[in-house]
Each structure stands twice: as C-alpha cells, then as structure tokens.
Chain A
C-alpha cells in the first residue's frame, strides 16, 4: 500500500516526509515536480503519475500537495481517500491545514501519521479514536505540559476502537445536552444565455452537531422523505431502517459530523431562485466592450436572497473595467482577470445592476469567447428542495435534550453562460 508520504508546499519544497515500509529517497518527487512544471496550474497536475520504480499519487488541497509513493497495485481511490482523510485530520486537530501549522506541530503530525497508517495500511482514521490516543494541541495544555512534564499521548487504549460503534467515544458527559441539525442545500445549475436551465440539481447535506451524554439512540424523521432518492449516510445510520421506514435511526458520533448527503436531480423540482439578465459584448472595431448585468428574484419562496455575489472570469484581453453598480461593490483583479461584484442582499423592489465599459488591450483581436458568470447566494431558513425535518426522538437515555434544526440554501456551482 502506501510506502511514503511527502508534503510539498506551493513553491515545491518538501517540508515533511514520512516513510512506513522502507525509506524512499525524496528524489522520487522530481518526477512530480516535472509534471507540476508542465501543468502550470496546480489543479491540473495528474493525480497519478508513473515513474520507473514507483507510482506517485497526489492530491492538492489547501495549497499543499500530499504526495504518496507507492510500489504495488492499489486502488488509486483508496489512496486518494486516505490522503484526504489525513488532510481532514490535520484540519480537525489544528483548525487549519497549512504549511506553517504542520511545521509547528510536526511531532503531533508524526504521531498521527504513525497511528493512521500501519505498514502502509490505514488503521485508525476515525477522529474520535485518534483524539483519545493523541490529544489535539491547545494553548492551555501545552502550558500545563511544559510545567508538569505531562504528555500529549493518551495512555489508555481508545474504547471506541474495540466496540461496534467505533465512531463514538465511551463515557461522554455534557451538562447541556443538545443536538443541532443543519440542512444545507446547494444548487448546482447551468443556465444558458437566454436563461433556460441546461442542467440543475440540488446537493444536500445534513450536518449535525450532537453533544449528548451517554449512548443516545436517535431517530430523525422527515415530513417528505420520498423526495430523497439518492442518499448516502454516515456509517452510523441503520440502513435497513431507512429502506423500510424512511427514518434515520442512529447512535450519533460525538460532536460535529455529516449525517447524510442526498441529491434531488429531477429538474422540475429544482427551483432557481434568481434570474440574470446579462449583456456582454466586445466591439469589433475599437478596443472596448460593454457589460450590463441585472439580477432579479425568481423562485425564492418568499425568503430574501442574501450574500449575492457574481464572479466573472474575463478574457485575457480585457485590461480594465469602468463599471458602476447600483448596489454593492465591484473589484477587478488585473492579474487574474477576475471581476467580482459583491451585491449583498437582493432587494426585489430595486434590482441591482452593474453596467459600464470594458477597455481592451489595443490591437488585440476581439475575443471569441464570452465569460460565464458564477453566481453565489444564500437563503436562510429555506431548503429549496422543500425537505423538512418532522421530529427527532431519543431513546436509550433519560434526560431531555435540546433539539434544533436549521435550513440553509446556497448556490453551489451555479453558472450562467453568456
């Protein structure tokens, strides 16, 4: 399986290496650097590379390349999945996953990697289990540790690892017992020039934050569960129950986790909350173009649209923009040619509008392509698919927990073609 792991920063320095089976020289990364040079954009580096003796599988996240060297056949997804899990764990432990943070906590990182992978095979990857073995750093503890010589390493075997509910710690205790569920839906859509929907889909997740004492057994039921056809669950959810009764029955992990994700893909069900009227044109002769964008509400179910933002990747030839917005602010990054128009709250009475001229590089030919608009928006207290949680019951414990459900609709990959 995985032989070695290298963490490489944006500029191509290897700042951490860890070997499991035997030591693989870091010169193996040269092949990767070569590919990276070629790809220009870090996102375009092929995730799997073949070198004479090793296979390199890498992921790119948070401006770090996680590069693993492999010698034998292994499902590439297996490795990618694991590398992301490593990244998630760092995020979980240190609050962010960046080069400085990893360098600062190199010892914890090393201990974590040691536990997560054993002889190249993933071992303990549940964050709950890991946290029992290696405590995450915090300022208070590090002060106490320096004074008392205490350690970050837990000296008991994590109980979760041996039970059949490995995702939950044993002996959880809270003074306030609370369970919060956030239903978050993202609209993925492609609209064409005339505003008709080319493709639309809702990606939903239910994020949970459960802080309950003991071993509670929860049941979450929906008003309209038939809405969901393609679902996937956290391993704690009893699948048979879902199949037969369409309720989510589970013993929750402690803390934050993603309970389920679903998608609603039949297009007529997907409401598009805003419409966009746009007109971008480049004049054939002179070195300028015009831009006119107006946004208005479409199917918002009576809620206000907030956090509205339009991002436009302009063609290379556009030098500067001279625009005026009726609402919000706009910025144009000269280097990346990205125009960002931050509108904020959408006022149905007075529709926001952005218009003005684009000045082009003189002498450059008229750009063939028209930039597409990426829209970002938020609607509080609404799940656009219409999904509603009806009730949450708890069994197995005696106390009364505090329960809360929140809905949020966001724009995912919402793109308007021009």
Chain B
C-alpha cells in the first residue's frame, strides 16, 4: 500500500505537465486551423450529419449503419490514397471527436466515446485520440468513465507512458464508494502495470479477479502471500478466482492447498460454474500427487471416492444445469482415475453411479444439445473413452444413431463411436444401421461408413464374410466414390484371407475398365499383383490393358502398374516378359522422377543381365514376401494419454501450456497435512460443535453431514480394514432415501468415540429442529443473518455474554470533540460534536452524536435546527429536536442519531438559526462506527477462527514508549475505537471485540506484545474496509 501512495505524487506532476502540454498544443493548433477555409468547409459540411448522429439514440439502426459506412469509406480512402489527401481527412475526422471530448457537455463526450468504442470494436485504430480520451478519466458521468476505461485497457499497452498519467485518477477512484467502478479502476490500473495494489480490495468487494499476472519475480512472493491468505477464505465467491490466480501464479506451490483441500471440496458445489472448472482441475492435479493410485486395490478406490473426493465432488455435474459439459470434463478425469475393471469389483457401486453420471452427461449432450459444437467435443471424448471401456457405453448404443440432418463432422464422429462399440452381440444391429447410412446423400459420410464396416469386419471375425459380401455389392453402386472406397476397404479385408476370395478378386479385376478413382485403381492393381497366382489368367490381361493406358494414369496408379508388372514377370515370365519390358520402358521416360527411379530399380532387380548382382536372386522373395494384413484402428486409439476434455486431446497434439497429469505417487504422502487444526475450544460440547458446523456451511450446500466424514476419513483411510469399509459402503451404496438419518449415524461412527456417541443420541432431535430453523432463518436473511442469529437465538450464548459482561472493562470515557462550526464562521455560534458512545435509544442502528452549542455572540440565537440533510444512499439521520432559544453566552447540548451504514461517509446538512444557515458535515472516525460487544475468550477465538483469510488484517508495529504496559494499550485502543475488552489468559495479549452499528458485523482486535515494544496488531472483521481503516487508526493511536 505504501509504495502505491508514493506513486500519485509523481503521477500528478506528470499529469499536470502533460496536460498543460496538450492544452498548449491545442491552443497552438486552433489558430492554425481557423484560417484554413477549405478544411473548415469540409468540416461544416459534415456537421449536420454528425448532429444527426447525436440526436439518434444508440438503439436506432439506420444512422448507426450510415456512420459505419462513412467511416469505412474514409478509411478506404486512407488506405487507397496514402498520399496527402489521406493526411487531411484522418486528423480532421478525429479533430471532430476531440472537440466533442473537450466539450463541457457530458452527452457530447458520451457520444464521442461511444463512437470511439465503436471504432475499436470494428478494429479501427483510435490510438491517436489517446491524450484527448485520457483527459476524461476524471469525468463525473459514470458511463463516460467506463468507456474511457474500455479505451484505456485497449490502448494502455501501446502507450504506456501516456497511460501512466491517468494513474492518479485511478488512485482517487479507489476511494469512490461505487464499488463496481472502483473495481474497474483496479482492473485498469493493473493493465497499466501498477498491479500489486489492493488485490484485497478487489477480492473482497467484487470478485473481479484474475489479473494479468505477468509480474516480475520479486512481486511474486508478495502475490503468493496474498493468495495464501485468500485461499483460507471461506466464501464461495472468492474460491474460484483465487484458485484461478493460484494456477496462474504458483501452480507448483501445492503445499498451499493442503490445508484448504477439504474446504475446497466442500465449497465446490456452491462455486459458480467457471470457478468449478478451475478448482476441479486443480484438485485433480492435487489428487494425482497426494493420493495413491486407486487402481492398485479396490478398497483404496472406495476410500478415495468415498472419503477424499466425497460425493459432493460428483454432484456438481448434476447441479450445473447449464454446464453439464464442463462437469463432463472433470468426471471423465475421474473416470480415468478409476478405470479399473469395474465388472470385477462387485462393491464398486458408487463408482458405477459416478460413471453412469458421466455417461448421462455425455449422452445428454450427444443428442439433446442443439449446439453441434458441443456435440462435436463431447463425441470426441466419448470416442476416446469407448476404446478402453466399451462395456459402459454399450447400453446406450442407440443414442449414437445418426440422423440425416446431423452435420457431416458429427455423423463421422458418431460412426466412430458406433464402430468402437461394435462387438459380436450387437454387430448385426449396427450393420443394419450402417446399411441405411450407405444410402445417404452425404458422400463423405458414406465413404466413412464403408471404412467403418471394414473396421467392424476386421475386428469381428464372424461377420467378415457378411461385410465382404455387402461391400462387394457396393461395387456395383453407381456412385464412383462409394465404389472406390469399397475397393480400398475390400483390399484390406482380402489381405487377411485371400485364398477364399479369388472370385472377388476377379470381380474387381473387371472393375478396372470402369472405375476412375486413382486410389481404387491402385488398390485393385495391387491386389491382382499380390494374389496373381489366384487369378493366373486374368492378371496378364489386366497388365495388358494397363500398359495401354499407362501414360494417362495418375502417378499412384503408374507405380502400382510397375509393381504388378514386376510381380507377374517373376511368377509368369513367359506371358508377361514383353509387357513388362514395355511398361518399364514407358516408365523410364516418365515425367515423375519417382516413377523413373522405380522403373530403373525394378529393371535391375528382376531382369537378369550379366551385370546384375546378387540381389536378383532374391527378387522373388523381395516382391512376393508375405505381407502382414493391415490393422484397422481407431484414430482415437492413442489419444488417451492426453487428459480427456482438454484442448490437446481434441487436437491430438500438445497445446501450449498443457500440463501432463503427474503419475500417482509410489507411496502416499503424509495425509495428515490436510488435517485442519480443530482448536480445542470447539470440542467443549458436542452440541455446540454441531451447531457451528451447520452454520458455517454455505447456505446452498447439499452435502449434509459430509464435513464430518471428510475430516476424519483421511486418517482412517489408511488404517481401515477391508471388511469395515465394505460394510460401510453397503449402507451408503443404497443411495439412501433416508439419507439424513443414515449419514447422521455414519458421521458419528466415524467420529470413533463411542462415549460421545452415547451423549449425542438424546440431543439429536432438538438439534435437527434447530437446524431446520437455521435453514428458515437463512433463507429469509441470507448470510448476514448468520452472525446475528448466533447471538440472539442461542440461549447458551446469551448467557455467556451476560456473564462476560460483568468481567469486561468498560471503555474509557475520554471523549474526543470535533468542531462542527467555528466561532468565527458561525458568527458567534460555535458548535462541537462528539460521539457519546451511548446507544441511541430511538434507533439502535444509529450512532449517537452529541452536539454542544455555545453562543459566544452578544445576541440570542433562536430556533436552532437542522435542514436539508444530504446523505449518501442508505444513510439515515435522526435530527435533534429544535432548540428554540439559546441565550447569549449560554451553552446547550443535543443528541442526534446518524446511521452511517458502516462507512465513513460524511453526513452533510445545514444548521439553521433564525437568521443564518451554515453548511456543516459530520464525518465519523471508523472507531465510532461500532459498539462494544461482550464475549468470552472462547467465543472470541471461535469467531476469530471464522474470520480468517481476507477478513483478517495483520500489521507489525513498534509501540510508543509511553504505552508499553497493558493498561496504556487498552486505554489507547478503546479511545480509538468503541470496543470492549475481552478477558484473556495471557498477559501478552489484549483482545477487544465490538460489532458495527448498522450491520452488526463482528470486529475483533488483538494486540499481541513482544519484547522491546514490538507488537502485532490483528483485526478480524467481515467488513474489510472497516477492518483496513481500523488498523490504520489503531496503529496511529498506539505508535504516537
């Protein structure tokens, strides 16, 4: 913070200088412009048009489009001319905007900004307007302001020096009460590389988050510190953003997660969907480094799924209606994690349900989703999954049936899935389905179907003949593409068992007359060459025909002709010798060097000459070697080493920034690191504990009774014997309707303390009732209600507070007076006010302000009253009763109440006498915005424990020489803030507690003293602004 504060001074200076420069330029420019009549007229001519723009609302279509066209034209001119002309139009047009920006009217400025933003949106360069726009940073109009920021964010990077000038305004902006705007300020200033500041601010107020974290390393440590703090925060709002920041800044610091792991698991369900993705990703990675591979033994899996991940881990997918697809991503990872043979493990019911949920997610997206993009991505993942786990998707086979209206890419993916799913039992249905597909109009799809049939045939021996027959029938298809594709597939199939199918080869040989697709021709020729002994009569004839048309063939066909010739020469040289010679001669003079080379090579190899070497002896072996049949594989086969759902998986290539999931560790790292310290005081009574548990849980959490399980289960997981855990899941595996009771008892069991269990039993009923009550209260009051509820409705609590009230020291009564109206400005009337620290009886939410009037003048003052109260929104004032007469030299006192809404905003009003009106304002020090609250040490600790993370602010300080004893500290603190002392066992610590007046948020202050005046000040407060300001005030009080 301090470093920040240094900035504005420089910045302000810079702003001043530059602004003056800019103004200077402007002044210099305008006289130059005026005499230039030609340009001026152009400008005038344009003006009516511009005015039309102004009048038209942003909602009307025509003029907007017209404006666009006009600008379009201007830029075209610019691009085309590039000479003098363009130089004239460009600055002029922008001059017009500049003029609008410089005007006094907000509406003109707004219009100008709107047009500039429109320019940016269309990708036009508006950077030369930078100085003119930056000037408007301080504009009062919020919309102009926002648009200026939009502009700045866009161009700040390019014009850093200039952008820095606007920093001071942003600094001021941070104090603005409009939080949405101030968040924006921070956003902009981070872009301006002034980061570092007030992350605190942001995270607390608006979840505006994730910044440009490309920081220098020295700042990283500080950032990590902030992140660590934020990770400890318990609100769902922060979780997503923080984990995001964690992933960007320090993903390697996995140690920061330990303590928060279980909390994050529990929060997950309440975090918004985008945050969930990030958290899940992080947790997956964490699980991979911290837990043993669940595949190793089944009971581990249970433990893992049950205890660590917890069922709340699985539920987001069900809850997230809109982003099923996102949950898919995570669940598919879980799928990977538990990809043990499910069929074998009889007690993996839960895993099965989990995976069923994945399936449902996938399936819903496969055919509900009207968005083909989502289908596309989901199907890609399904395709990968089906390779390994066919059994799981089999029951859903029909979901992947193809409709004629699907886009081609979806059709092909579905086909892929269907092919992967094919097995002996369902192949007949699948093939029947394929038959309909072959009739489709979409030729690419038909080709893919034929390939798919080929793959089914290779994988499933039983249907090979049927498939082959079907494919042969397709050879008579009228569409050449279909035939060609069939030929290619048949070739592959025949290679598996050629001896049976010489008639097919013959049939195909006949096709060479008709078929023109090079790939198909090449395939036929290869087949004939390869199996020429099966068709001894036809082969030479085919070669003859081919030799005739050799020159007209494609390269790929020519190569196969040469091959065919060579093979025939070796087997049947009598008939084909001359033909081969002819073909080789033709090839010798071919244009393609590859063919020439091949011809030369083959000639040397097969035609015996004197010179030919040893190789020709082996020619037959070379050419007629037994060739292994091709294996038809899914293109998705090797994809599963990428994380499912990732971009890399989709592209089957490692994308930038892709992190390989670490392998499971060999030995489990110490599980106790995740144990969150449960301070002793919470164990005081089981009832209290239970209550607290319920209260701290987020309102919408569904995972009742889970936190208990997670807390203890980890330590248990290593020790639990197989039989015990087995009995456990048989209970919860039944997916209880009576889950409440069941989980309740389960929880207790896991607590493993039988004595306590007995005690708890009788208490159960009332507890449940009160739980229900809490739910009701919560639903009506939301979260703010929680704290208040604790103190008002729990009788035990109330009793405690009464008891402690007796023991606490009352705040000191030294009240500080502030001047409201000076004697001179008040023409003899002087007014002072002080905060009496008494409860304001008419309204408990108001701060009592005691006002002393002194009439120093010689005449009486009459009818002293308040008028024209100007307040920030939400604030209220209870005026003091009118003082009818204040005689000269007399004093009077009145009390008024102000509800400051827990902020240090000023209350402005007019103080009226019978003759005059004075404008006065009251601004409260932050310490006066609270009232003492009595609590015991245990309560204090408990509350403090709940206000960790962002709600805690710690400062180190050196105490002033005068206040190094306890009494002095208490004195100083209670003077600075209206707090009450909390009794404390240690004499090194002083504790204070209070509640803010309006919202009753707790304010807890701890001053821990150390040697030689060193001390540490900790403030815990739900309202972070209050906390920050309070720290400042108390710090000041203690050090001076």
Contact = CB atoms under 8 A, between A and B. Distances in A.
- Name which of A188, A365, A369 has the most chain B CB atoms within 10 A of its CB: A369
B274 A43 contact: no
A164 B326 contact: no
B270 interface: yes
Contact of B319 (A15, A18, A161, A235): A235
B324 A232 contact: yes
Nearest to B653: A50
A142 B59 contact: yes
Interface in B99-131: 105-107, 110, 114, 117-118, 120-123
A198 B236 contact: no
A77 interface: yes
Nearest to A45: B409
Interface string B423-450: 0000000000100100111000000000
A142 B57 contact: yes
Nearest to B325: A77
Interface in A346-405: 365-366, 368-372, 374, 395-396
Interface in B312-344: 315, 318-326, 328-329
Nearest to A238: B702
A107 B739 contact: no
Interface stretch (A119-127, A272-280, A327-335): A119-127
A398 to B, nearest CB: 11
B648 interface: yes
Interface string B65-80: 1001000000000000
A215 B122 contact: no
B321 A261 contact: yes
B154 A203 contact: no
Contacts of B439: 368-370
A228 to B, nearest CB: 12
A77 B326 contact: yes
B417 to A, nearest CB: 14
Interface string B397-437: 01101011101110000000000000000000000010010
A264 B648 CA distance: 34
Interface in A11-32: 14-19, 21-23, 26
B187 A244 contact: no
A248 to B, nearest CB: 12
Contact of A146 (B107, B187, B658): B107
Contacts of A34: none
Contact of B440 (A41, A77, A161, A369): A369
A382 B739 CA distance: 34
A415 interface: yes
A103 B372 CA distance: 26
B783 interface: yes
A286 to B, nearest CB: 17
- Interface majority SS (helix, strand, loop, mixed), chain A: mixed
B454 to A, nearest CB: 20
A240 B702 contact: yes
B717 interface: no
Contacts of A164: 236, 270, 698-700, 782-783
A243 B178 CA distance: 42
A263 interface: yes
A73 B779 contact: no
B61 interface: yes
Contacts of A80: 325, 371, 373-374, 377
Nearest to B782: A163
B208 interface: yes
Contact of B206 (A84, A157, A234, A395): A157
B373 A47 contact: yes
Contacts of A109: 121
A198 B432 CA distance: 11
B718 interface: no
Contact of B142 (A15, A155, A258): A155
A17 B118 CA distance: 10
A244 B656 contact: no
Contacts of A14: 123
A101 B821 CA distance: 57
Interface in A35-66: 41, 43-44, 46-48, 50, 55, 58-61
B227 to A, nearest CB: 15
Contacts of B403: 190, 413, 415
Given A76-B647, A217-B779, A238-B702, A104 B60 contact: yes
A327 B647 CA distance: 52
A106 B121 contact: yes
A151 interface: yes
A74 B248 CA distance: 13
B57 to A, nearest CB: 4
A165 interface: yes
B147 interface: yes
Interface in A204-259: 215, 217, 230-235, 237-241, 243-245, 251, 258
Given A73-B647, A369-B439, A104 B364 contact: no
Contacts of B376: 46-47
Contacts of B367: 188, 201, 413
Interface in A248-307: 251, 258, 260-261, 263, 265
A111 interface: yes
A244 B325 CA distance: 25
B735 interface: yes
A138 B779 CA distance: 34
A125 B274 contact: yes
B778 to A, nearest CB: 9
A138 B122 CA distance: 24
Contacts of B60: 104
Interface stretch (B166-174, B209-217, B550-558): B209-217
B76 to A, nearest CB: 14
Given A100-B61, A244-B739, A16 B122 contact: yes
B679 interface: no
Contacts of A365: 478
Nearest to B64: A104
A344 interface: no
B146 interface: yes
Interface in B688-738: 698-700, 702-704, 735-738
A261 B368 contact: yes
Nearest to B652: A50
A158 B178 CA distance: 11
29 contacts: A16-B122, A46-B409, A47-B372, A73-B647, A73-B648, A78-B274, A80-B371, A80-B374, A81-B326, A85-B322, A105-B59, A107-B118, A114-B150, A119-B210, A121-B274, A126-B272, A156-B178, A156-B873, A163-B782, A164-B698, A215-B780, A217-B779, A235-B322, A243-B739, A244-B740, A368-B478, A369-B441, A371-B441, A413-B405
- Nearest 4 A-B pairs (CB), nearest first? A72-B657, A151-B143, A142-B57, A240-B702
Interface of B: 55, 57-61, 64-65, 68, 105-107, 110, 114, 117-118, 120-123, 141-143, 146-147, 150, 153-154, 157, 178-181, 183, 187, 205-212, 236-237, 244, 270, 272-274, 277, 315, 318-326, 328-329, 360, 363-364, 367-368, 371-374, 376-378, 398-399, 401, 403-405, 407-409, 433, 436, 439-441, 477-479, 645-648, 650-651, 653, 655-659, 698-700, 702-704, 735-740, 776, 779-780, 782-783, 873
Interface of A: 14-19, 21-23, 26, 41, 43-44, 46-48, 50, 55, 58-61, 70-78, 80-82, 84-85, 100, 103-111, 114, 118-123, 125-126, 133, 137-139, 142-143, 145-146, 149, 151-158, 161-166, 188, 190, 192, 198-199, 201, 203, 215, 217, 230-235, 237-241, 243-245, 251, 258, 260-261, 263, 265, 313, 315-316, 365-366, 368-372, 374, 395-396, 413, 415, 417
Given A60-B373, A164-B783, A233-B318, 19 more contacts: A17-B123, A41-B407, A48-B650, A77-B328, A106-B64, A123-B274, A126-B272, A153-B142, A154-B180, A157-B179, A158-B180, A163-B782, A188-B367, A237-B319, A241-B702, A243-B739, A263-B364, A366-B478, A415-B405
